[in-house]
Amino acid sequence: MKVSPTGYMHRPRGHQSGFTLIEMSIAMAIALFLLAGLFTIVEGTRRTYGNQNLLAQLQDNERLAMTLVTDVVQAAGYFPDPTANTAVGSLPPITIGAAAIAAGQAIFGTYTVADPGDTLTLRYTTSAADTLINCVGVTAANSYVSTFSVVGGYLVCSPTNGGTASQLVNGLIRMDVWYGVKRDFTVDNYNVDTYLRANAMTAADWGNVSSVKVMLTFKNPLAGQAGQTSAASQTIQFTRIIAIMNRAGIKT
């Protein structure tokens, strides 16, 4: 310990040192590397969460669209009290566009090669005691005619009565319809032996439709992402075969 001329004592200073420029650069590089990894994990989690939401919305749209179509297809040809009424009397002849629909005919459709594809028309008659509804949710004692089609990316239902045309579900590109008919009458039943598009149906076929195969083509919400760039992956198809309830089961 030293004594200054003024009489004050001074303690010796210890050795002092800081980080060098190289050490600071290495620390910053490590920090940036860790931050980059963290941001990568956050971005991957955010993308995965977003994709799951998109797929969940697609599945909801698929189920909703097919449920709406199925409910109306199953009711096609229905009329109240078959002991007092007949299909011909309950479903009189009508004209839809340029097509003449025969008395008793419950199903009709058109076929189009280009998008947005086919149309599907169904009709049935209800009474005040029935709870059947048309494709836009209206119920009354009436003869319903509902036409499904894809317009502007939406599944659309156009009822000729009981409501106005409504957009039901979005995200669609096209709708394709096949009609399950019976052409072999050597056996007396309603079994389907042929599936036809609307342009191949005859007048007799329209009266022998036992099922309808509906294919809805949706836009893939993940199109363009990694693994989703091929032409086949741009769309997702959802198919269901729907039985016409008045022809389902054993013929009696």
Tokens of 194: 């042929």
On whether residue 21 sits in a domain, the answer given is: no
Tokens of 181: 């008919």
How distant is the alpha carbon of residue 68 from its chain centre?
A: 10
pTM for this one? 0.78
Residue 143 lies in domain: 51-247
On whether residue 120 sits in a domain, the answer given is: yes
Average pLDDT over residues 146-170: 84
- DSSP codes of every residue in 206-227: HTTEEEEEEEEEEE-TTTTSTT
On whether residue 86 sits in a domain, the answer given is: yes
Task: Tell me which of 88 and 96 has the higher pLDDT.
Answer: 88
How many domains, in total, are found in the chain? Answer: 1
Give the number of other Cβ atoms within 10 Å of residue 11's Cβ.
7
On whether residue 96 sits in a domain, the answer given is: yes
User: Tens digit of pLDDT for each residue in 195-229?
Assistant: 999 999 999 999 899 999 999 999 998 888 887 88
Q: Which of 73, 98, 94 is nearest to 241 (CA)?
A: 73
What is the band of 18 on the pLDDT scale with cuts at 50, 70, 90? low
On whether residue 219 sits in a domain, the answer given is: yes
Helix (H) or strand (E) holding 121: strand 119-125
The CB-side HSE value for 145 (13 A sphere, CA atoms) comes to 19
Task: Tell me which of 69 and 40 has the higher pLDDT.
Answer: 69
Give the number of other Cβ atoms within 10 Å of residue 96's Cβ.
16
On whether residue 8 sits in a domain, the answer given is: no
On whether residue 15 sits in a domain, the answer given is: no
Strand-strand pairing, 107-110 and 194-196: unpaired
The CA distances from residue 121 to 10, 37, 105, 166, 177, in Å, are 105, 56, 11, 15, 11
